[in-house]
Structure 1
Amino acid sequence: MAISPISRLSLLPRLPRFLSSFTATPSAIVAPEAPTAVKPIIDLGDTDRLFAAEATGRLAWSLATMYALAVGPAVDLGIAVMRSRAVMENAALRAAVMAAVRGTVYRQFCAGEETEEASETLRRLWEKGLRGILDYGLEDAEDAGACDRNLAGFMRTVDVTPALPDSSVSFACVKITAITPISLLERVSDLLRWEKKNPSLHLPWKQPSLPVLADSSPLYHTPAAPPPLSQEEERELRLSHDRLSALCHRCSEANLPLLVDAEYTSVQPAIDHMTFSAALEFNRQPHPLVYGTVQAYLKDSKPRLMQAVDAAERVGISLGFKLVRGAYMSRESGLAASLGVASPIHDSIDRTHACYNECASFLLERITTGGSASAVFATHNLESGKAAAAKAMELGIGKGNQKLQFAQLMGMADGLSLGLKNAGFQVSKYLPFGPVEQVMPYLLRRAEENRGFLSTSTIDRDLMRKELKRRLKVAVLGK
């Protein structure tokens, strides 16, 4: 194995002793020093330290819930019941289902029904050294009235943050699908895709933004030229931009960056267009206010990320991204199959992991070189977390650097969250909240899209089980 110049210098003081060993008697020969063990960046071995702030009862309940959610048939049955109109339209059955959901998956993955309850959950996390991302659990809006009501909900969430411990809230978040009608996002996305095919197309409503589609981006959603937006649609689009701008202003006043969630590919171009348009207005500081989201399971995610960051640097703005693997695998694959086209998602989980790590490495390198990029690595994958942390340390990025953060969903990958926190990195838990009925789509998505994760990833369960056994031994034997 080659020895670096620095290592050679460190050997010079030992050289006389080393040379004398060749003429010494056998008993005088000095044995080689044992190699020093390298401490892992993310240490999950000490469960006592890892779960020091977790009550035994809560730890045991979480372990039991995680085991239950790892049983595929049970999860499938639960999803079928929650999707059954016959069950959910019967008042008595619906009440029973809601009670069961509230006591299990809701308690595991959600922070509470109202802002006060969610705030208390966030305070408990803060005491453990973790930050929180408050997410008011709203889904797709169908009309302008719903969009306005949803915006008010997002605004109220931002408004509660000054009453919480300083720096305990890392981000606000918004779903563009909650403040813009879905049908309009589909129309705008169609026109942006058609413009990609025909660059000479004039879109009079298009605001200054950054490129949202790469040459490798799938365009199969738009097989023919879509009609232009009507005057009413253009008016509604302006209102949607105004809603996002109003929320950005509120976040700016609260000094709270805003994460914009990603959605399915049929509407993502419009979401990116609105996100980047807001970034041009609000990201004129070294640290971005508006963050977009990149889903690494999409084949075009890396080129879209790279071109957006390059474009942002050319126009002199900062740009932040939350990097995730993706949450609509079933929907995307099903739609592509129905149209007889290739899926936009990578063909294997290994390729998705590789793409995630490549995107993370790209963002970290841009942070190091003084570029405008900032990153939130939202991952439940231990290896990706280790790789990003190791790369950051290799590049000399300080653990307190505001341009680098990690995040995991509440109720998932707690071992990774606590391990990263103990290593000194900034870590947040994503805290959805709202009435059970309101966050039901989120819970269904967690159950469906994370079925594989919950059934195959045993790391958290193993860590919890190990710590509970340790506590039991201490309680019984006193050691």
Structure 2
Amino acid sequence: MNQNWLVSLGAGLTSLAVKWNLPVKGLIRSTIFEQFVGGESLDQTIDTIKTLDRFNVQAILDYGAEGKETEADFDRTKEEFIRVVRFAATRPNVPLMGIKITGLARFALLEKLNPLVRLTDQTVDIDTSSLTPSEKQEWERVVSRTVEVCETGANLNIGIVIDAEESWIQDTIDALTMQVMTVFNQKDAVVFNTVQLYRHDRLSFLERSFALAQNRNAILGVKIVRGAYMEKERKRALERNETVLIQPDKAASDRDFDAAIDFCLDHLDRISLIVASHNEYSVQHTVQKLLDADLPLNHPHIHFSQLFGMSDHITFNLAKMGCNVSKYLPYGPIADVIPYLMRRAQENSSVAGQTSRELFLIRKEVARRKL
């Protein structure tokens, strides 16, 4: 993954090989899958969860289903999400689980609703009047599935983190998330939305979401990330001659990310924050802000998280300091997690990417041990 050309070639070939049922699953399983995924089934994650627990590291379980298309698939995914919640309730170091709305809803339906969303500091609404009768019923089932998962989480004290996805369906996801959040986050943070700060409009969206939650007397649950769809977003916008939502450069993303962290920490009594970052500076910045404000590093409204297979030096040092910190631990059949794996490979393939930094740290440690 440190070779950009190999990632570009491999991503396309891997997706095609799986689609055509070529015998490549063994190779995938023993390489990129083993690095970034907890297993092909929920039970296969147990050993990893236990290992993390020995080092005071928590886990956010994520069933890797996305991009499904049939009602039967959506119902099966909902049942699996609920099974994860019930499983997490039996594990003291699994306080949260992640879900994707594209595991519960047809992508085209989410895209059709996207321009029909109204989310302000006073109201959140999705205008379904232009849908056909069958589409309205389909949307009602999406809402019902989402509510059922979140309600199970609320009953069992397991947080539900709703992941961000592509911008052309994100407004629909945001509106649905805020609707269920204002129901279930009245006393504690159960539902969390994800805000991607590689988009230049997301800092203002975060502030608007907080105002809406305040007006509904709810705690805002939010996971702050830089994002994972940047190249796809930029390519689509340029092809369609649309406004590019991506920040002009990395410095702008970093600036808005840290501003978002500061905003949340300034309202920590009414915001429950997940800092999902592999950036050492951003993590240090957050910790220092807590120390300067004389807030405990294990404050119940602050949680750090890194992806499984990445940034162990950040995760385990935070755990040693006494912070609430987790690994985002996906699982699922190889064919289902291929989109997730390809995003991990692509976001790590640049010269300044995570893989380059981690290879440097590993080589440095190997050299130290040889002395």
**For this structure pair, what is the TM-score category when the shorter chain's length is used for normalisation?**
over 0.9
Q: How does 1:188-337 map to 2 (within 5 A)?
A: 188-192=113-117, 210-211=123-124, 228-285=130-187, 287-337=188-238
- Opposite residue 334 of structure 1, the aligned amino acid is K
- The percent identity for this pair of structures is 29
- Opposite residue 315 of structure 1, the aligned amino acid is R
Note if contact 1:114-1:434 (Cα within 8 Å) is conserved in structure 2. yes
- Opposite residue 313 of structure 2, the aligned amino acid is G
Number of paired residues?
A: 371
Matched residue, 1:102: 29
TM-score normalized with structure 2 length = 0.94
The correspondence for 1:129, drawn from 42, 56, 72, is 56
Indicate yes or no: 2:21 matched with 1:72: no
For 1:277 and 1:298, locate their aligned partners in 2 and report how far apart those are by CA, in whole Å: 22
* Deviation for aligned residue 1:250: 1.3
Pick closer, same or farther for the CA change 1:103–1:445 going to 2, 3 Å. same
- Opposite residue 110 of structure 2, the aligned amino acid is L
For 1:322 and 1:437, locate their aligned partners in 2 and report how far apart those are by CA, in whole Å: 27
* Deviation for aligned residue 1:461: 2.6
Query: Which entry has the higher C-alpha Rg, 1 or 2?
Result: 1
For 1:375 and 1:136, locate their aligned partners in 2 and report how far apart those are by CA, in whole Å: 22
Note if contact 2:89-2:157 (Cα within 8 Å) is conserved in structure 1. no
The correspondence for 2:43, drawn from 97, 103, 116, is 116
Matched residue, 2:300: 402
Matched residue, 1:81: 13
For 1:211 and 1:160, locate their aligned partners in 2 and report how far apart those are by CA, in whole Å: 32
* Deviation for aligned residue 1:378: 0.2
The correspondence for 2:66, drawn from 134, 139, 142, is 139
Superposed CA offset, 1:193-252 (max 9, x none): xx68xx9xxxxxxxx995489xxxxxxxxxxx9971122211111111111111112112
Matched residue, 2:244: 343
Note if contact 1:131-1:427 (Cα within 8 Å) is conserved in structure 2. yes
Pick closer, same or farther for the CA change 1:308–1:163 going to 2, 3 Å. closer
- Gapped regions of structure 2 (runs ≥ 5): none
Matched residue, 1:55: none
- Gapped regions of structure 1 (runs ≥ 5): 1-68, 200-207, 214-224, 474-479
Indicate yes or no: 2:322 matched with 1:424: yes
For 1:458 and 1:154, locate their aligned partners in 2 and report how far apart those are by CA, in whole Å: 34
Matched residue, 1:171: 96
Superposed CA offset, 1:82-121 (max 9, x none): 133xx44665xx21x2211111110110001111111221
Note if contact 1:211-1:307 (Cα within 8 Å) is conserved in structure 2. no
Indicate yes or no: 2:364 matched with 1:437: no
* Deviation for aligned residue 1:454: 6.8
Matched residue, 2:346: 448
SS at match of 1:437: helix
For 1:450 and 1:323, locate their aligned partners in 2 and report how far apart those are by CA, in whole Å: 19
Superposed CA offset, 1:378-409 (max 9, x none): 00111111111111211222112110010000
